[in-house]
A and B are shown apart, each in its own frame.
Chain A
Amino acid sequence: MEWNKYSNIELWKLFKKGDRGAFSELFSRFYPRLFRYGMSLVSNEEAIKDGIQELFLELWCNRTQLAEANSVEYYILVSLKRVLLKERKKANLRQERNFEYIESFVQIESGIERQFIQLESEQEREILYKKALKTLTARQSEVLWLRMEFGLDNGEIADFLGLSEKSARNIIYEAIKKMREWVALFDNIKININ
């Protein structure tokens, strides 16, 4: 089955009808972002793996009671948060909400100087943006990550973080603008070097 042609909502509808294949696809598709989100709540890898298993089992158990989701991404994210927070309370460990995790993407691998000369390829573009991410505030990173990695819309980000929809939109706008301008600096420098 060509599951990658299906949208999240289409998979959700099939899963509610009891389709195990669609359900497995949802699991694989969401796993990376759920794991990363989990790391920002509890830093214990085993707890997150268990939490995700628990979450998907719950979903399966209750699939006939779930309504049509307007947003699969939001519902799953919010449910994982609930599962992990409950586990965290139970375990009674003091966990620090680690936003540096969201911010700290790949380590810088080579010196900035070498980046100038290699600006053509896609990969370098990505590395530049990775560095640009570090110039954002924790709040900007968080909101941007919920948009880019989780696919939440403005309203959902707003609900999730307790902001207004307008704020969420503005934060993304400013964050992207900042990153774009930062990356453009390198384009200019490159042009000047040449």
Chain B
Amino acid sequence: MAKELLEDFLVNASFVRWIRRESDAEERRYWDAWLQKDFGRKHIVEEAEAVLAACRQEERDMPNIQIELAKLETALDKVVYQSKVLQLKSSRRHFLIRKRFLAVAILIVGVCLSSFVFYQYWSNQHLNDAATADITYSQEYRTGFGEKVTFRLSDNSRIVLNANSYIRFSTDKDGKFDTKEVWLEGEAYFDITNHSGMNERTFTVYTTDGSVSVLGTRFAVKTFEGESRAVLEEGEILVELPAESTGAALDDKRRVILKPGDKAMFSAGYKKITISQVNPRVYTSWNEDIWVFDDTPVSEIAVRIKDTFGIEVIINQKYKERRITGSVGISDINVLKEALSAILKTSVWQQDQVLYIGLDD
């Protein structure tokens, strides 16, 4: 058997990972067993550790990592509603984001970065049009907490995807965007250009509970567990339950046309559509970085904060059912905190990922 030399092992990245103690359990087991088989191999390990130690730079030249980490944590806590505006072009091929993560990550990273740098220097301004970039690579998009994305279609229609949501666009057989249908999980605002006459087309939003079709109009759709909601600001939309979910007897209640100010709650599971009248701004203003409250209980606002920013909210019992009417800017969570504090006349403070309302009373 050939003699085992140090260089035979250091050319293997797995071995080096094990020496650095950065292996996962499986890799560790493998090399631990290798060592067990022949304790003479111990000297190879010692030499490798010496090489590793030799390659390490003097720690004294290094900045203080704890301080740098603290800086990062502070900055992460400030990461809030970042708006990105992305252009959808229908003439190029697309790829799912996951397949080309390097190229797309760099593109999206670039956009987010310019928004973030913008935010750092002018922290109280709106980020609405922070950056424009092409997103020709993907047919689906998912937003994280505190993130909002605006898609501009080539006919100047706009789709704003709220935080913690997912949208999928359909494509035709050539891989071009076919901006007539989208699938939604979460919340989005649609501002669809009216195409009449020869160019007339229907734009449809699908959720698990049914579809919302429109000719040209402004409305918002949100999905929940077990039902979906559509609120119409202007124009006309048609809400329809999926065919399979209804029996013949329910034909006339399977589809409803909404007027501005109508809110439809629709559910495939419960096989129904319920209409009520609302102030549509309560449900659509978020797309301008504003939340409008209309006799809204604080407990409901807490849910909204959690869904949008991913922050838990703990409220003093006293304030849970208090109702608020008004509007507040949400480009910065600190603005929201101050507004709530002023309206409720109590303390609102945040620690890590938790918001505490009225707990100092």
Say whether A and B bind each other: yes
Partner-binding segment picked from A54-62, A91-99, A110-118:
A54-62
Interface string of B61-96 (1 = CB under 8 A from A): 011010011011101100100100000000000000
Would you give the shortest CB distance from A178 to chain B, in whole angstroms?
9
Contact, CB under 8 Å: A67 / B98: yes
What 4 pairs between A and B have smallest CB-CB spacing? A153-B13, A129-B54, A67-B101, A7-B24
User: Within 8 Å of chain B (Cβ to Cβ): is A27?
Assistant: yes
- In the complex, chain A residues 15-35 whose Cβ is within 8 Å of any chain B Cβ: 18, 20, 24, 27-29, 31-32, 35
**A125 and B7 contact, Cβ closer than 8 Å, known pairs A31-B68, A49-B63, A65-B104:** no
16 more contacts with CB within 8 A, not counting A60-B76, A61-B113, are A20-B76, A20-B352, A32-B57, A32-B62, A35-B62, A62-B108, A64-B143, A65-B108, A75-B102, A105-B55, A105-B57, A132-B54, A148-B51, A154-B13, A172-B7, A174-B7
Query: Considering the chains assembled together, what is the distance between the CA atoms of A128 and B176 in angstroms?
Result: 62
9 A-B residue pairs with CB within 8 Å: A9-B24, A18-B145, A32-B56, A52-B68, A53-B72, A57-B72, A61-B109, A147-B13, A176-B7
Contact, CB under 8 Å: A151 / B16: yes
Q: Which of B47, B68, B75, B101 is A66 in contact with, Cβ under 8 Å?
A: B101
- In the complex, chain B residues 4-46 whose Cβ is within 8 Å of any chain A Cβ: 5-7, 10-11, 13-14, 16-17, 20-25, 27, 46
Contact, CB under 8 Å: B63 / A35: yes
Q: Which of A52, A56, A62, A144 is B105 in contact with, Cβ under 8 Å?
A: A62
Query: Considering the chains assembled together, what is the distance between the CA atoms of A177 and B115 in angstroms?
Result: 49
| Chain B residues, CB < 8 A from A80 | none
Contact, CB under 8 Å: A36 / B76: no
Query: Considering the chains assembled together, what is the distance between the CA atoms of A143 and B62 in angstroms?
Result: 22
**A58 and B11 contact, Cβ closer than 8 Å, known pairs A27-B69, A49-B63, A176-B6:** no
Contact, CB under 8 Å: B69 / A24: yes
Residue of A nearest to B65 (CB): A31
**A149 and B56 contact, Cβ closer than 8 Å, known pairs A57-B72, A62-B105:** yes
User: Within 8 Å of chain B (Cβ to Cβ): is A10?
Assistant: yes
User: Within 8 Å of chain B (Cβ to Cβ): is A130?
Assistant: yes
| Chain A residues, CB < 8 A from B101 | 65-67
Query: Considering the chains assembled together, what is the distance between the CA atoms of A116 and B102 in angstroms?
Result: 50
User: Within 8 Å of chain A (Cβ to Cβ): is B153?
Assistant: no
User: Within 8 Å of chain B (Cβ to Cβ): is A145?
Assistant: yes
What DSSP secondary structure best describes chain A's contact surface?
helix
Chain A: residues with Cβ within 8 Å of the partner, total of 64
Residue of A nearest to B54 (CB): A129
**A53 and B75 contact, Cβ closer than 8 Å, known pairs A24-B69, A31-B68, A148-B52:** yes
Would you give the shortest CB distance from B92 to chain A, in whole angstroms?
19
| Chain A residues, CB < 8 A from B145 | 18
Would you give the shortest CB distance from A190 to chain B, in whole angstroms?
16
Residue of B nearest to A48 (CB): B63
Contact, CB under 8 Å: B113 / A126: no
**A60 and B55 contact, Cβ closer than 8 Å, known pairs A35-B63, A66-B105, A154-B13:** no
Query: Considering the chains assembled together, what is the distance between the CA atoms of A91 and B139 in angstroms?
Result: 37
User: Within 8 Å of chain A (Cβ to Cβ): is B250?
Assistant: no
Query: Considering the chains assembled together, what is the distance between the CA atoms of A45 and B20 in angstroms?
Result: 26
| Chain A residues, CB < 8 A from B144 | 18, 61, 63-64
Would you give the shortest CB distance from A9 to chain B, in whole angstroms?
6
Would you give the shortest CB distance from B76 to chain A, in whole angstroms?
6
Contact, CB under 8 Å: B50 / A65: no
Interface string of B137-172 (1 = CB under 8 A from A): 000001111010000000000000000000000000
